[in-house]
Structure 1
Amino acid sequence: MHTIEQLNDGRAVYLNGQRINVADVPIFRKTLALNNQYYALQRTHQDVHTYIEDGQRYDIAFKVPLTSADLKQKHRAYQEIAESNNGLLGRTPDFLNSAMAALAVRSHFLGHNEYTNFAANAKHYAEHVKTEDIFISHALQNPQLDRQKAINAIPSGYAGVHVTKRTMEGITVSGAKMVNTMAPIADDLLIFNPPELLLEKGDTSYAVAFATPLNTPGVKIICRKLLDHPVYTGYTEDDFPLSNALDEIDAYIVFDEAFIPWERVFVDNDVEMSNRFFMDSGMFIHSSHQDEVRGITKLEFATTLAIRTAKLLGLDGFLGVQEKLGRLTANLELIKGTIARSEEEGRLDDFGIYTPNQQALQAVRSTLPEYYEEALKVAQHLAAGSMVGVPGFKEFNGDNGPILEQALGTSKATAKERAKFLNLVFDLTTAGFGQRQLMYEYYHGGDPMRIRSQHYAGEDLRAGNEMIDRIMKS
Structure 2
Amino acid sequence: MGARSGREYLAGLSRPRALWVGDDKVTDIASHPAFAGAADTLARIFDLQHQARDICLMPDPETGEPINVSHMIPRSLADLERRHACLQAVAEFTVGLMGRTPDYMNVTFAGFAGRADEWAINGNERGAANLVAYQKALARNDLSLTHTIVHPTIDKAKGDVPEPGNEVALHKVADTAHGIVVRGARILATLAPFADEIAVYPAVPLLEGTDPYALSFCVPMDTPGLKFLCRDSCATAPNRFDHPLSGRFDEQDAFVIFDDVEVPRDRVFINANLVAYNTVMATGWYPNIMQQTMIRAQTKLEFAYGLASRMAEAINDYSPATRQMLGEIWTYAEFARAAIHSAEVEAFDYGNGVWFPNGGPLAALRAALPTWFPRVNEIITLIGSHNLLAAPTQAQLADPKLRPHIDKYLRGAGEMKSEERARLFRLAWDFVGSALASRNELYERFYLASGARNYQLANALAPKGRAGRLVDRILGEQPKAADLAADLERRKINLPKEIRR
Q: TM range, normalised to the smaller chain? A: over 0.9
| Pair 1:279–1:41, CA change in 2 (3 A) | farther
| Residue-by-residue CA offset, 1:22-43 (whole Å, 9 max, x unaligned) | 1331342321222234432332
The answer on 1:157 being equivalent to 2:164 is no
Please name the residue that 2:35 is paired with: 28
Q: Using the alignment, how far apart are the partners of 1:400 and 1:419 within structure 2?
A: 14
Please name the residue that 1:248 is paired with: 251
Please name the residue that 2:366 is paired with: 365
Please name the residue that 2:14 is paired with: 8
1:164 match: secondary structure: strand
Q: Using the alignment, how far apart are the partners of 1:152 and 1:409 within structure 2?
A: 58
Please name the residue that 2:460 is paired with: 457
2:372 match: secondary structure: helix
| Pair 1:166–1:42, CA change in 2 (3 A) | same
Please state how far the C-alpha of 1:242 moved relative to its aligned partner: 1.0
Given that 1:267 and 1:274 are in contact with CA atoms closer than 8 Å, whether structure 2 keeps it comes out as yes
Q: Using the alignment, how far apart are the partners of 1:152 and 1:340 within structure 2?
A: 38
The answer on 1:124 being equivalent to 2:124 is no
Aligned residue runs from structure 1 range 254-265, under 5 A: 254-265=257-268
Q: Using the alignment, how far apart are the partners of 1:103 and 1:368 within structure 2?
A: 25
Given that 2:192 and 2:254 are in contact with CA atoms closer than 8 Å, whether structure 1 keeps it comes out as yes
Please state how far the C-alpha of 1:378 moved relative to its aligned partner: 1.4
Given that 2:118 and 2:280 are in contact with CA atoms closer than 8 Å, whether structure 1 keeps it comes out as no
Please name the residue that 2:396 is paired with: 395
Q: Using the alignment, how far apart are the partners of 1:115 and 1:346 within structure 2?
A: 28
Given that 2:18 and 2:226 are in contact with CA atoms closer than 8 Å, whether structure 1 keeps it comes out as yes
Structure 2 counterpart of 1:99, one-letter code: T
Please state how far the C-alpha of 1:153 moved relative to its aligned partner: 5.2
Given that 1:219 and 1:256 are in contact with CA atoms closer than 8 Å, whether structure 2 keeps it comes out as yes
| Residue-by-residue CA offset, 1:190-248 (whole Å, 9 max, x unaligned) | 012313xx2112322211111000010111111110012337xxxx3322221122211
The answer on 1:17 being equivalent to 2:17 is no
The answer on 1:328 being equivalent to 2:329 is yes
The answer on 1:193 being equivalent to 2:199 is no
Structure 2 counterpart of 1:284, one-letter code: Y
Question: Could you tell which deviates more after superposition, 51-60 or 213-222?
Answer: 51-60
Structure 1 counterpart of 2:167, one-letter code: G
Please name the residue that 1:62 is paired with: 71
| Pair 1:303–1:174, CA change in 2 (3 A) | same
Q: Using the alignment, how far apart are the partners of 1:144 and 1:446 within structure 2?
A: 14
| Residue-by-residue CA offset, 1:138-192 (whole Å, 9 max, x unaligned) | 110111111322655597722x211111123211111111210001111110012
The answer on 1:445 being equivalent to 2:448 is yes
Please state how far the C-alpha of 1:51 moved relative to its aligned partner: 2.2
Q: Using the alignment, how far apart are the partners of 1:304 and 1:29 within structure 2?
A: 28
The answer on 1:171 being equivalent to 2:180 is yes
Q: Using the alignment, how far apart are the partners of 2:9 and 2:462 within structure 1?
A: 46
Instruction: Select which of 114, 134, 140 maps to 1:105.
Output: 114
The answer on 1:290 being equivalent to 2:300 is no
| Pair 1:449–1:341, CA change in 2 (3 A) | same
Please state how far the C-alpha of 1:3 moved relative to its aligned partner: 4.5
Please name the residue that 2:494 is paired with: none
Question: Could you tell which deviates more after superposition, 29-38 or 373-382?
Answer: 29-38
Structure 2 counterpart of 1:157, one-letter code: E
Aligned length: 465
The answer on 1:137 being equivalent to 2:137 is no
| Pair 1:445–1:152, CA change in 2 (3 A) | closer
| Residue-by-residue CA offset, 1:102-142 (whole Å, 9 max, x unaligned) | 22231233348999811111111111112222111111011
| Residue-by-residue CA offset, 1:380-428 (whole Å, 9 max, x unaligned) | 1011111113344432234423211221123342212211211111111
| Pair 1:330–1:152, CA change in 2 (3 A) | closer
Q: Using the alignment, how far apart are the partners of 2:264 and 2:403 within structure 1?
A: 62
Q: Using the alignment, how far apart are the partners of 1:380 and 1:45 within structure 2?
A: 35
Structure 2 counterpart of 1:50, one-letter code: L
Q: Using the alignment, how far apart are the partners of 1:456 and 1:433 within structure 2?
A: 33
| Pair 1:184–1:414, CA change in 2 (3 A) | same
Please name the residue that 2:485 is paired with: none
Given that 1:5 and 1:23 are in contact with CA atoms closer than 8 Å, whether structure 2 keeps it comes out as no
Please name the residue that 2:497 is paired with: none
Q: Using the alignment, how far apart are the partners of 1:277 and 1:19 within structure 2?
A: 37
1:277 match: secondary structure: coil
| Residue-by-residue CA offset, 1:59-90 (whole Å, 9 max, x unaligned) | 11122222222212211111111111111111
Given that 1:27 and 1:246 are in contact with CA atoms closer than 8 Å, whether structure 2 keeps it comes out as no
- Identity over aligned residues, as a percent? 26
| Pair 1:230–1:58, CA change in 2 (3 A) | closer
Given that 1:188 and 1:212 are in contact with CA atoms closer than 8 Å, whether structure 2 keeps it comes out as yes
Please name the residue that 1:40 is paired with: 47
Please state how far the C-alpha of 1:367 moved relative to its aligned partner: 1.2
1:278 match: secondary structure: coil
Please name the residue that 1:385 is paired with: 386
Q: Which runs of 5+ in 2 are unaligned?
A: 478-501
Please name the residue that 2:216 is paired with: 209
Aligned residue runs from structure 1 range 219-238, under 5 A: 219-230=226-237, 236-238=239-241
Give the TM-score of the pair, scaled to structure 2. 0.87
Q: Using the alignment, how far apart are the partners of 1:154 and 1:389 within structure 2?
A: 56
Given that 1:219 and 1:255 are in contact with CA atoms closer than 8 Å, whether structure 2 keeps it comes out as yes
Please name the residue that 1:430 is paired with: 433
Given that 1:302 and 1:372 are in contact with CA atoms closer than 8 Å, whether structure 2 keeps it comes out as no
Q: Using the alignment, how far apart are the partners of 2:266 and 2:32 within structure 1?
A: 34
Structure 2 counterpart of 1:379, one-letter code: I
Question: Could you tell which deviates more after superposition, 431-440 or 198-207?
Answer: 198-207
Q: Using the alignment, how far apart are the partners of 2:164 and 2:157 within structure 1?
A: 10
Given that 1:408 and 1:415 are in contact with CA atoms closer than 8 Å, whether structure 2 keeps it comes out as yes
Structure 1 counterpart of 2:279, one-letter code: R
Q: Using the alignment, how far apart are the partners of 1:204 and 1:115 within structure 2?
A: 14
Please name the residue that 2:306 is paired with: 304
| Pair 1:324–1:88, CA change in 2 (3 A) | same
Q: Using the alignment, how far apart are the partners of 1:5 and 1:70 within structure 2?
A: 32
Q: Using the alignment, how far apart are the partners of 1:67 and 1:116 within structure 2?
A: 26
| Pair 1:202–1:412, CA change in 2 (3 A) | farther
| Pair 1:395–1:179, CA change in 2 (3 A) | same
